[in-house]
Structure 1
């Protein structure tokens, strides 16, 4: 079987390829990237650019299964368009089973909503692909660990509300994706890749205090304060908008869901936020 991974030079793509290689099985691996030279053996590197659809026919040629990872482009409307084009190119290239990395809380949405590209891609995938599987990821534990480390000097972590989130490790998501790609019986399934428990803002601060060995509190702020702080930190407006939307999705409970899908697909229990934070603090 020949398995392709888009976004192969990114952190998630690299991790999925590493998991697939470790699991063996004699399958051919293809890493698709705008920087194919960075794809490590035993995977074959192929040039493929979501913004250059003409490159995707060759990139997807001969693949039996393909994992589509959304790009990092945060511009409204872009990722939905990119993923639609990639799905069409994969179907035209004869790929039989498409796997999509989506997001928890995905539902009908329009541009410029943060979840619009996931809704757009999921719906197009379901309508178009011969066989499909969707992996809805929770918020990355590594991203929250970075936020905690940046905020720790102030002695307080902030949020827009309780913010219960079942943070998932990037490597755990990669292991689950690898398990799904190599396994059978996943066609038509929508999985929710989550951490082992939903953690509130207060619990997040308490965990960080224990791991970092310093007292940390948790304070609820409003959106204007959040945006002001992010702007003062020098972040561009597009990033400020995305971060504000993410925090609002925390309050809505989009990521307050816990499943056993990670362990079911990967064969191992998911790491907790505390474990990821401890590893990042070393």
Structure 2
């Protein structure tokens, strides 16, 4: 088996590589692909194959995929990520790749969820390609709140526009373990998994976890999307980014990342990471 990991220099990708090794695949049989040469150089020292690649460059993508029977596509965050994903799917089909694994997102059919549209289009293209696939619809990362916690440490306030919404985040390590499990295991052909943490939390629960980690009281303050957008622009963000983040908080408040079941803990064979454990990773 030869595995190519596209996105290996990102946070999830760097956690994934050793998890694949733990499940019996040698570093020499894993190729780490990404943009960051400094990370790739370190991975090469640790025995991984490496290739620097821009997913927007179709020729580079074709060269990177050639010779690999399994390809992992960790979804990107760039504005043109759908085109990048389509480049990978096309190259994988042309190369006769045996299996393609894709990290998608929860509840991508919700038309109000801005982050879901690219995931849905990628899933549709992947299913139509004829490739054998496994799709992991990852929920929210606990680590997404570390920066907010660091900000709250200065004034004791965790500000968000998520109202009384519930989320079921898990740690990136949990999602990396799940992805490694399906890459190295059997019975996952043409399957889609909805993955979330073991329990729902409110933003009050998040503030309590921040309080425990920081050792200082943190209070959740709920504001409207408009108010939150204003706060973000006053902090220096452009209006487009501020509006996007405010809308995202609205999605979270509406339950877009609420619990979907125990699929994640079943795949990894243990409970998902707690809020406190995840926030203590700083």
Output the CA distance in 1 between the equivalents of 2:111 and 2:100: 22
Q: Tell me the equivalent position of 2:183.
A: 181
SS in 2 for 1:99: strand
Per the alignment, do residues 113 and 279 of structure 1 end up closer, same or farther by CA in structure 2, a change over 3 Å counting? closer
Superposed CA deviations along residues 1-58 of structure 1, whole A, max 9, x for unmatched, are: 0111101111111111121123324471011112356331322002321111111111
Runs of 4+ in 1 over 4 A off after TM superposition: none
Output the CA distance in 2 between the equivalents of 1:108 and 1:55: 34
Q: Tell me the equivalent position of 2:117.
A: 116
Q: Tell me the equivalent position of 2:81.
A: 79
Match of 1:100 among 78, 97, 102: 102
Would you say the 8 A contact 1:103–1:118 is kept in 2?
A: yes
- When normalised by structure 2's length, the TM-score is 0.91
SS in 2 for 1:186: coil
Match of 1:219 among 202, 221, 228: 221
Q: Tell me the equivalent position of 2:280.
A: 278
Would you say the 8 A contact 2:198–2:259 is kept in 1?
A: no
Q: Tell me the equivalent position of 2:69.
A: 64
Would you say the 8 A contact 1:158–1:221 is kept in 2?
A: yes
Output the CA distance in 2 between the equivalents of 1:92 and 1:179: 26
Output the CA distance in 2 between the equivalents of 1:194 and 1:176: 11
SS in 2 for 1:133: strand
Q: Tell me the equivalent position of 2:21.
A: 21
Q: Tell me the equivalent position of 1:32.
A: 33
SS in 1 for 2:89: helix
Matches within 5 A, 1:1-282: 1-26=1-26, 28-35=29-36, 38-39=39-40, 40=43, 41-73=46-78, 75=79, 78-107=80-109, 109=111, 113-160=114-161, 161-280=163-282
SS in 2 for 1:175: helix
Per the alignment, do residues 45 and 263 of structure 1 end up closer, same or farther by CA in structure 2, a change over 3 Å counting? same
SS in 1 for 2:247: helix
Output the CA distance in 2 between the equivalents of 1:65 and 1:230: 42
**Which 10-residue stretch deviates more, 34-43 or 145-154?**
34-43
Would you say the 8 A contact 1:134–1:189 is kept in 2?
A: yes
Aligned residue pairs, count:
276
SS in 2 for 1:50: coil
Superposed CA deviations along residues 130-172 of structure 1, whole A, max 9, x for unmatched, are: 2111111111101112212212322222232112111121111
Would you say the 8 A contact 1:136–1:191 is kept in 2?
A: yes
SS in 2 for 1:68: strand
Superposed CA deviations along residues 222-257 of structure 1, whole A, max 9, x for unmatched, are: 111111111122223443233223211102211111
Stretches of structure 2 lacking an aligned partner (at least 5 in a row): none
The alignment yields a C-alpha RMSD, in angstroms, of 2.0
